[in-house]
Structure 1
Amino acid sequence: MAAIEAGGIRHHGGLPPPLLSTGGRRRRASIRSMDVRVVAFATASDVVGREPLTIAVEDGARLSDLARRLMERFPDLAPLWPRLAVAVDGTLANGDVALADGVEVALLPPVSGGAPPHVALVGEAIDPASVTAAVAGPRCGAVVLFLGTARDHHRGRAVAKLSYSAYRPMALAALERIARELADAHRASLAIVHRLGEVPIGEASVAIAAAAPHRQAAYQANREALERLKREVPIWKRELYADGEAVWREEESLAAAVELTS
């Protein structure tokens, strides 16, 4: 972490640090700063360049502060910004995310064929803010977020924890298909993230975010995404009960069984 001193070449917003008085003498106060690495792709790289940039921001700055700095330095970035996804150290983020010294911020335009749905299978706790950030934007008047959480009972029995497993390649393809089809049907943007492995009671096993210009479309897309996920995606839930018994919940068939020839 560096200090930006008076007379230095990097002053946040182009303004020198404030003057402080010490024993009748005035000196410039140093402002602590952080160096953030910025990488850009496709049309964003046409504006800011293809080589990584190091941008100095004040200690405690958020992603929105960096965005303003970038658009001050690169005015042509402003019209592109609403179309960009932004990742901090590989995780999609919104403007409220606090930056740290040395983090990498990636500017990600829509990929070929249009903006893809954000779908993921993760092995750690789900961050609802990042799921929402994946679909939110200026064209949206509503964002609906659903969190499916692990509850402590099932049919009168105490549940200690849940565990999920998946046929990963097929599950990801199914999630992407669902998100694309519902995005087209409702003119919405969708993000679906499902957690695998053990999920403690009270934590989220699935997060679905849907954004649309109007709330009804966002509500409908979100609800349909959940119902289709339960029917079409090869993800299995195992309940471990407080008495030690474990049961697989296999309640929805993915397709008709393969017929066996005699």
Structure 2
Amino acid sequence: MSITVLYFAAARERAGVSRESLDVPPGARVADVLALLSALHPSLAPLLPHLRVAVEQQFVGLDSPVSPNAELALIPPVAGGAPGLFAVVDRPLQLAQVVDAVAGETAGGLVTFSGAVRNQTQGRRVLRLEYEAYAPMAEAKLEEIGEEVARSWPGTRLAIVHRVGTLVPGELAVVIAAASAHRKEAFRGCEHAIERLKQDVPIWKKEFFEDGEVWVGLGP
């Protein structure tokens, strides 16, 4: 099937075109399209972790499907925004993804946080967790956190990816990376991100035990 890809700003410069038609396999998702574009435009590949993707003028995640004749746009960080990666996904997380989104020659300090599912809570054995999110709002809130960090510690870049769906003990639920010229700002930015995430981002967690289940924060 065929789709139209739009390029803007730095993405346009790297690809050498502002728009083009691309043949993708039926059932392709955004991640598949990005893989094809990396092969088609090698100079674009290093930029992709820093871009947001919109399909039919709506921001989407890497796992979002792409329909025939869809218009897919590669969106670099906007002027005044918080560069980085802010996503809610339903696949296993990779710490390298958030590191690549913020790393650079100006970053003398880079701090990461990986939140994994524990095998017990208050003495009760955890069988699995189920995460649910209002994904569009959650991603917008994650980006707001990135903007807060950039304002509080100028020059600090942040990336956050949170997983939804069913997770078992040992699997990663969230990965965060903060990069800055100095380690102090990177540590503070990363700590601020995880605390704010727990306050305002609409992501919910249900714990399943051998003897029951509970939505975290609501009690039995």
Q: Same fold (TM over 0.5)?
A: yes
Pairing 1:203–2:145 present: no
Alignment of 1:36-185 (within 5 A): 41-46=8-13, 48-50=16-18, 70=43, 84-86=47-49, 109-185=76-152
Look up the equivalent residue of 1:240 and give its one-letter code: F
Contact 2:49 2:97 in 1 (8 A): no
Over the aligned positions, Cα root-mean-square deviation in angstroms equals 3.5
AA aligned opposite 1:207? V
Q: CA deviation at 1:123?
A: 0.7
Residues 44 and 163 (structure 1), Cα distance of their counterparts in 2 relative to 1, 3 Å cut: closer
Instruction: Check the 8 A contact 1:193/1:206 in 2, yes or no.
Output: yes
Which structure: greater helix fraction?
Answer: 2
Report the Cα offset of residue 110 of structure 1: 3.3
Per-residue Cα deviation, 1:87-114 (whole angstroms, up to 9, x for no partner): 79x899xxxxxxxxxxxxx987433444
Please, which of 242, 247, 252 is the counterpart of residue 210 of structure 2? 242
TM-score (norm 1): 0.58
Q: CA deviation at 1:175?
A: 1.4
Q: String of CA shifts for 1:39-93, please: whole Å, max 9, x gaps.
A: 96424534634466xxxxxxxxxxxxx9xx85xxxxxx9xxx99x44579x899x
> Structure 1 residue aligned with 2:195, among 227, 230, 233?
227
Letter in 1 for 2:135: R
Contact 1:146 1:222 in 2 (8 A): yes
**Separation of aligned partners in 1, 2:7 and 2:137:** 30
Q: Following the alignment from structure 2 to structure 1, what is the Cα–Cα distance between the partners of residues 75 and 160?
A: 19
Distance 1:146 1:228 in 2: 14
C-alpha contact 1:190 1:209 (8 A) present in aligned 2: yes
Contact residue 85 and residue 108 of structure 1 kept, 8 A: no
Q: Quote how far apart the aligned CAs of 1:115 are.
A: 4.9
5+ long unaligned stretches in structure 1: 1-38, 53-65, 71-76, 93-105, 252-262
**Counterpart-to-counterpart distance in 2, 1:171 and 1:108:** 19
Task: State the alpha-carbon separation in 2 of the partners of residues 162 and 246 from structure 1.
Answer: 9
- The 1:86–1:124 alpha-carbon spacing in structure 2 relative to 1, beyond 3 Å, is closer
What residue ranges of structure 2 are gaps of 5+ in the alignment?
1-5, 21-38, 54-60, 63-72
TM-score under structure 2 normalisation? 0.68
Structure 2 equivalent of residue 217 of structure 1:
185
Counting matched residue pairs gives: 180
Structure-2 change in CA distance of 1:86 and 1:222 (3 Å): closer
User: Secondary structure of 2:97's match?
Assistant: helix
Amino acid at match of 1:208: I
- Indicate if the aligned counterparts of 2:112 and 2:178 stay in contact, CA closer than 8 A: yes
Change (3 A) 1:43 1:117: closer
Task: Measure the CA separation in 2 of the matches of 1:151 and 1:143.
Answer: 25
Q: Is the 8 A contact 2:115 2:172 kept in 1?
A: yes
**Displacement, 1:173?**
2.2
State the identity %.
44
User: Alignment partner of 2:102: what SS?
Assistant: coil
Worse overlay, 114-123 or 149-158: 114-123
